[in-house]
Structure formats: structure tokens, C-alpha cells
Structure 1
């Protein structure tokens, strides 16, 4: 994995990253503030794809925008396009995880010519806080109120949260404790969890929660306009993104494949091979669909006088 700098449409300096594996380019819309180490299988040379991604504004080397309000869904979609432009990629499969599902879905709706396929993992396409604690059966209005209230409390206590979390050691022991907390499950390799945790804990937590709250009012998107092949992976025990909502979002799409995996929200860490396998299947489906569309266009052009 290599990092590089690029500019967003508004001039904000972004830190991008990419792998150098052989295979078609895939744009990864990351979970909020997450790092490449959260996708251990996609970093391997045998992943079958070349991953393009970036760090959100104000995190992991990406600069905060001069206008602090430029952290909306529009801005994240614009940054995704900037990553594609910097890599010289016109059209590719797009993957989203967690809050990145919102970005990937919106990119497909606004710019269908840039997205040949979608893989949406452990996330919902809008109403970010409405999916929290859905697996516990808590009414949607109540859990949204609790989630937003909790986020605002963390933002208010930002310096204290930083003082605590920045001192937590990211070790196999820490990973093991987290994997038995219910928030995460034991399926992931503790070394992979520790690697991802080490950088994640170093966030400026006031800014991190500010990024999340900037997406709080984004309504759930209607995906019926998406025509490319779609795969949805949902974690059965996901406390952050309600798996029922994740699957229901694509229920009306003719080319949607859904799979519920026995994981928590951290599906890329707990089921890395599922990510690679499903992404490979999606790339194959996209190849077939793109070839069929090209054949139709060729036949139509021959019929024209």
C-alpha cells in the first residue's frame, strides 16, 4: 500500500492510498476515519484488484477544509471523484463500508457512468444514525436519538476522550478484549485488529464526531435508479448498521445479490475472505454485463442507416 497527496475540488489537500496488485481498479469508499489495515485481504497481492482510496478530510494526513462546513456527503462524493481523476480511472467497481456505503451509493446515483458495480458492506445508504442498535429491536426514533446524543456528548468531551484513547495500547490483548465486547466479535485475526486499532485510536475525536454528525441529516437514499450489478454484505450482529435495513435498501434492484454474514460491523476484518470472494464474483458479473452492453451498442450502430 502506498500513500499519495491529491487535491479535492475545493482545493483541500487529501491523502490518498492505493495498492499495486494486478487486476482491475476498485474504488474503496472507506468507513469514517478508517485505515487500510481494516481491509487486510484487499492489501494482499493476491486480492485480484487494485484498490484506490483516501482518508476523510482532517484524518490520517488529509487536511481539514478551509471552510469547516465542507464535510458533507456532497464533499465526500466529490473527493471520491478526485481520487478516480488522480488515478486516471474513468469507470470502475466501487466498494463502500459503513458510512462509505452512503458515499458509494450516492456516487452511483449521481454519476452512473463512473460506477460499473457496487459492493456495499455493513452500511446503509443514508440515515446514518438510524441504523444504530437496530439488531436489538429498539424503536428507530429512540435509537437515533440515543446515537446522536451520544455522539454530541463525545464531541463535547473531546479533549478528555483524546486523553484516554490516545493512551490505550493497541496490542493483541487489547484486540482480544475488544473482540469479546459484543461491539466486535472474535472472528478477526488479533494482529490485524491491533494494526487497525493503533491508528484509529489516534484520531482527534472531537473532529471525528463532527464528521459523523455532518452526515446525520442525510435521508436514506432510494436506490431504484441504480442499474449496475450490486452486492450487499450485512453483518448479522452489526450494532452500527441494521442488517435488515441494509438488505431492504436493494430489495427492488434486479441485479442485487445479498448475503448476511455472521459478523459484527467489522465485516472486512472478521470475514476478509468473504470480501475477496464476493468482490471477485462482482467483478465477474460486471464484466459479463459490460460485454453484453457493448454488444447491444454494436448491434444498434450496425442497424442505423
Structure 2
């Protein structure tokens, strides 16, 4: 895997990354502030695909935009297109995880000619805060008020939150504890979890929550116009993206494949081989469709 810089449409410098594996290209729309370590099987040569991705504006080496309001869903979609163009990719399968599901779905709706297939993992394509805590049975209006309020509080207390989280020692023991917290579940390699947590906790948390709140008003989209093959992987015990709401938008698509996998929100870490298998199956469906259209 290697990283490099590129310019977004509005001039913002983005840090992109790509794997050197052989195989068809895949654009990965990342979870908010996540990184390659979150996809331990996808970045291996055995994945069978060449992955291109990037870090969100203001995170992990990407610059914040000169205009701080340029962090809308449209801006993230434009960044995805910039990453594809930089890699010389005209059309490919697009994956998304968590917030990346919103970006991947919107990319397919706005630029259908650039997307040959969609794999949406552990995320909702709209109404981001409405999907949090759904598996706990809390009424939707209540949980949305709670989660929006918590996000705004974290943003207000950002420097204090940084002081705490940046000092937490992350090791294998902590990773195992997290895997038994309910927020995450056992299944992932604790060393992979530790590597991911170590980088994740170092975010500027005021900016991180600002990015999330900028997507709070995005409604659940109508996906009926999508014609490419679609696979949705929902996480059964996901406290961040309600699995029912994750699969609901794709239910209108006659060609969509949906699965509910017994993991937490961190499906790429807890079921990495399932992700690779489903991606290979999606690639096969895409190939069959494109052959039929010739």
C-alpha cells in the first residue's frame, strides 16, 4: 500500500492511498476518519483487487478545505471522483463502509456511468444519526435527539476530549477489552484492532464530529434508479448503523443481494474474509451483466 497527494475539485489537498495488488480496481469510500488497517484482508495481495481510497478532509494527512463549509456529501462525492480520475479509473466497483455507504450510494446515483457495482457494508445511505442505537430498541426520535446532542457536546468540548483520548495507551489488552464491550465484538485479530484504534483515537475530535454533523441532514435516498449490481452487508449487532435501516433502501432493487452478518459495526475487521468473498461474488455479477450488455 502506498500513499500520495492529489487535488480535489475545489483545490483541497487530499491524501489518497492504493494497494499494489493485481486485479480489477475497486474504489473504497471509507468510514469517517478510517484507514487501511480497518480492512486487513482487503489490502492483502490475496484480495484479488486493486483498491484505491482516500482520507476525509482534515483527517489522516488530508487538508481541511479553505472554506470550512465544503464538507457536505457533494464534496465527498467530488473527492471520490477525484481519486478515481487520479488513478485513471473510468468505471469500477465501489465499496462503502459506515459513512462511506452514503458517499458510495450518492456517487452511484449522481454518476451511474462511473459505478459498475456497489458493495455497501454496515452503513445507512442517509439519515446518519437516525440509524444510531437502532438495535437497542430506543424510539427513533429519541435516539436521534440523544446522538445529535452527544455529538454537539463532543464538538463543544473537543480539546478536552483530545486531551483524554490522545493519552490512552492502546495495546493488545485494551483491544481485547474493546472486543468484549458490545460496541465491538470478538472475531477480529486483537493486533489488527489495536493498530486501528491507535490511529483512530488520535483524531482532532472537534473536527471529526464537525464532519459527521455536516451529514446529519442528508435524507435517506431513493435507490430505485440504480441499475448496477448491488450487495448490502448489514451487521446484526451494529449500534452505529441500524441493520434494518441499512438493508431497507436496497429492498426496492430486484437485483440487490442483502446479508445480515453477526458482527458489530466493525464488520471489515470482524469478518474480513466475508468481505473479500462478497466482493469477488459482486465482481462476478458485474462481469456477467457487462458481457450480457455487449
User: Taking structure 1 as the reference length, what is the TM-score of the superposition?
Assistant: 0.96
Secondary structure (helix, strand or coil) at the match of 2:67 reads coil
Equivalent residue number for residue 302 of structure 1: none
Larger deviation: 90-99 or 172-181?
Answer: 172-181
Equivalent residue number for residue 298 of structure 1: none
Equivalent residue number for residue 280 of structure 1: 280
1:2 aligns with 2:7: no
Q: Over residues 70-127 of structure 1, what are the superposed CA-to-partner deviations in whole Å (9 max), with x where a residue is unaligned?
A: 0000000000000000000000000000000000000000000000000000001000
Long gaps (5+) in structure 2 = none
Aligned residue pairs, count = 294
Equivalent residue number for residue 171 of structure 1: 171
Q: Over residues 223-247 of structure 1, what are the superposed CA-to-partner deviations in whole Å (9 max), with x where a residue is unaligned?
A: 1111000000000000000000111
Long gaps (5+) in structure 1 = 295-305
> How much does 1:177 deviate?
1.1
1:234 aligns with 2:234: yes
User: Taking structure 2 as the reference length, what is the TM-score of the superposition?
Assistant: 0.99
Distance between the aligned counterparts of 1:290 and 1:164, measured in 2?
51
Q: Over residues 129-170 of structure 1, what are the superposed CA-to-partner deviations in whole Å (9 max), with x where a residue is unaligned?
A: 000011111111111111110000111111111001101112
Larger deviation: 176-185 or 72-81?
Answer: 176-185
- Superposed, 1:53-64 pairs within 5 Å as 53-64=53-64
Equivalent residue number for residue 246 of structure 1: 246
Distance between the aligned counterparts of 1:177 and 1:187, measured in 2?
13
- Superposed, 1:90-101 pairs within 5 Å as 90-101=90-101
Distance between the aligned counterparts of 1:175 and 1:155, measured in 2?
25
Q: Over residues 188-221 of structure 1, what are the superposed CA-to-partner deviations in whole Å (9 max), with x where a residue is unaligned?
A: 1100001111111110000000000000000011
Distance between the aligned counterparts of 1:259 and 1:160, measured in 2?
40
Secondary structure (helix, strand or coil) at the match of 2:60 reads coil
Distance between the aligned counterparts of 2:57 and 2:29, measured in 1?
13
Name which one, 1 or 2, has greater alpha-carbon Rg: 1
RMSD over equivalenced CA pairs, Å: 0.5
Equivalent residue number for residue 66 of structure 1: 66
